Chains A and B, each alone.
Chain A
């Protein structure tokens, strides 16, 4: 509904800039004035008669000249107004319009629009309405087509299209996305489109949407303000029509989470898989079938109940017998929105967790190396007993680092390495950015300045904190104990309630003070009793870095020989690799990216989409590394990245929908008006046919005066010609024209009144003719 306060006065121009032509209305005045100055001269003997005649008729002559001037001005004014294509709201169907309009059709293409209502997806209904809008346009209308989605292109038809049939064809080709609806970005695109000066001045935006709260009424106050402002700005320029096709009480259940509880899944080890099912509807769900598929086969099923408006966690367990990337799918019984009834998990299962230990201490005695205790803590095999744990550490010296392909390792330990070259720093940075896990332990060889320059980089690098001075001296017998910080961090969580592990009694004599920046996402997982951090955790890129500020050998403390050392080291490794587990899980439209530290330009890379379509992806060179990016993750499912030589492996990626879009709760009309459209002029509809009728009426109501103005100008032109020749004839003609129009309108309103007026007009004409009977006769 229009909220215009003064509908009768609502007036506008399609091409207002042409109103400058109204200045031409002054032309008759100018001509009139100039004409007065151009005259003939003649001597005249019978002056007394002329003077007397002029005296007696001066008033009449002035009136006639004024009327003629007015007629001439009106001719110019009417023509200029007509060319400016004015339109007037609510003026009855008297002024019928065929004003070219710039029509922008906005279709909500978020996946909530695939909800089946009355057996038909909402999106199909939206397409039908869009088609009707395109077909109901007038000649000269310009069309844009915009979709509400989370990705580009939002403007499906960006350049204005004047052929409605082509618009209909493009509408038919539209498909819903599996994305959320980014309203703010769409509104910004609309603002760009209405600014197009090449399109007609009269604007109309029809937004066909389900008015989902998740999309329209976001929780962020700043964003809501932005949306309101954009809508208000648009309403000033264009007529806003909202077509609400959302289902008022849509029932929907969805799998909102599907993940493994452990960050690293190894062969022959049971892994827990947590599935969260959420019921967004108002009706409880009973006895719903939930299935777990592993590599395409049903592994387990469960029957679940989910109360209305709540979520239910479900746990499956599974043991993988083969080291490979496995395809997992959780599938819920179908409802009216099937797209969110399944969720995928790409599960890389490995035989072992490869850990690289880089030893920075060169010694002939193995015990004196920096990695001795660490290696045994992670894999305590002896000559007689082979450790059957899945963590497999490899030890190299620091000199071998440049030649190692770090991506083969799940975790890398840098142990008391004195300094790093630029190349080594780049290697480590790219490794961690690409999802690798790096643990840096310090020691007596550390050159803090080099570490700060190469790895900290003023907070931009992968080092979680800036290294400072050494604290404590072995000789001075200073003792520092661990403070587990209430066991909040995952690496110490297992120690809560277990004092026998000796974590809090572990003795350290020396460490390097590390300053955690206040801004940033570094967190102290473990502190010393002095308050300085002992273990600092920081996510970096797609990976993670942990900094251990003391050494992992006996030189700076007794920790390596403490009973807490092995479990802490194992937890550190597991925590470090936890991010990597998530690198395979993406949302729709998030790109699949990989960085390869070797110059693998010629390596082939093919991505196979869930619909089995294969796309070759080329690698690009990025600072000496090979970078791969695939952004066509438009549909949910499992994508397979096949890498050729020299890597020769394939990796699975799970692309899932953003589960927030599964909440189909919508804004009703009053909520929508109150929350977003306060003070904004707009129309609200639920069907297009109604809109179509109203728009037809509205088109009439907002009818242009162009044609009538041109008719009026034409009539006045004839009147002017007649008046200039014989004023009274012209006056009679004007009288006749005006009378005809008035009688016609009066007749249409009321036939009796029309007849009466007709008689009155005829009588008036008789009077005029009688009064001027002498003057109207041809001049002798």
Chain B
């Protein structure tokens, strides 16, 4: 078990070749610490009630009905044969950023998490698709549950070009049109974009009745702003440069950044979308855990 733990460190994974291997190691490392599959009851859709017979699992008793009728009925769920999960990966220039203290870039980290989740989904015999985007949607792969499909996904992830700035609003609109069948959409991005435009795009997914999770991936330096010496910050994605004394600006910058995170979290909560913040120095099991457990909470809530 301990052997798998080490593969949960981003810096360790960075030394390995092949996303498939990394994804497997992550998942095995993660799963090895659990008693049951994390996808149990994952994305299950309620279908109908049936009368309780002795021996049924009491977890599925619909206590609301009992409260109204004094009779025991079980909830029945749809089979997951139509479940599809789309990984939307932001490959814009800002995702390339990797600070000195970070083990991997944001994009690399996003790949790890996306790959691990895709691995998990395929293991559950569900379909997983993928799209990469920067200025436009550069790659779109329809969902499939075939294991070989996973290889293609991993390959696409690894080879996806990175360039320029991104404008997520129109891209989400575009993707929402392409992903016709409702499913789970997981967005991996640093969200350094106009929030309103992005929310508008996300609302399109909502309109399509997709279940959206937003995983914001940031570099530790972007949150901590640990710089000391006077620095010329060269803007990515056509942002202007800024020359400043970081020590004088640290508090203010953090305040701005934290407030931005709060706004994003609040806005996504209002849209009833899942939001996870991940730093690239976070071990992958923690990353997966924070995402999957939130998914579990959401599932039980419904």
Contact = CB atoms under 8 A, between A and B. Distances in A.
Contacts of B232: 39-42
A46 B230 contact: no
B219 A45 contact: yes
Interface stretch (A51-59, A71-79, A524-532): A51-59
B265 to A, nearest CB: 16
Query: Which interface class (under 10, 10 to 19, 20 to 34, 35 or more) fits B?
Result: 35 or more
Contacts of A775: 251
A46 B192 contact: yes
B253 interface: yes
Size category of the A interface is: 20 to 34
Interface in A12-44: 35-36, 38-44
B192 A54 contact: no
Contacts of A57: 248-249, 252
A282 to B, nearest CB: 85
Contact of A39 (B229, B255, B257): B229
B255 A53 contact: yes
A758 to B, nearest CB: 31
Interface in B212-241: 218-219, 222, 224, 227, 229-237, 239-240
Contacts of B218: 46
Contacts of B222: 45-46
B82 interface: no
B249 A48 contact: no
B256 A49 contact: yes
A48 B233 contact: no
Main secondary structure of the interface of B (DSSP, over half): mixed
Contacts of B190: 45-46
A49 B253 contact: yes
Given A49-B257, A49-B260, A61-B248, A54 B242 contact: yes
Contacts of B106: 45
A197 interface: no
Nearest to A35: B230
A23 B223 CA distance: 44
A65 interface: yes
B230 A40 contact: yes
B260 A41 contact: no
B240 A51 contact: yes
B252 A42 contact: no
B277 to A, nearest CB: 14
A326 B235 CA distance: 118
Contacts of A53: 249, 252-253, 255-256
B250 interface: yes
B294 to A, nearest CB: 24
A560 to B, nearest CB: 119
B289 interface: no
Interface string A742-780: 000000000000000000000000000000000100011
A43 B255 contact: no
Contact of A41 (B93, B234, B239, B253): B234
A45 B249 contact: no
A779 B223 CA distance: 13
B117 to A, nearest CB: 23
Given A53-B252, A57-B249, A775-B251, A41 B231 contact: yes
Contact of A61 (B237, B249, B255, B257): B249
Contacts of A65: 245, 248
A651 interface: no
Output the residue of A39, A47, A54 with the most chain B CB within 10 A.
A47
Contacts of B243: 39
Interface of B: 93-97, 106, 190, 192, 218-219, 222, 224, 227, 229-237, 239-240, 242-245, 248-253, 255-257, 260
Given A39-B243, A44-B235, A53-B253, 19 more contacts: A39-B231, A40-B229, A41-B234, A44-B234, A45-B94, A45-B192, A45-B219, A45-B222, A49-B256, A50-B249, A51-B239, A52-B256, A53-B256, A54-B244, A54-B252, A56-B252, A57-B252, A61-B248, A727-B248
Interface of A: 35-36, 38-54, 56-57, 61, 64-65, 727, 775, 779-780
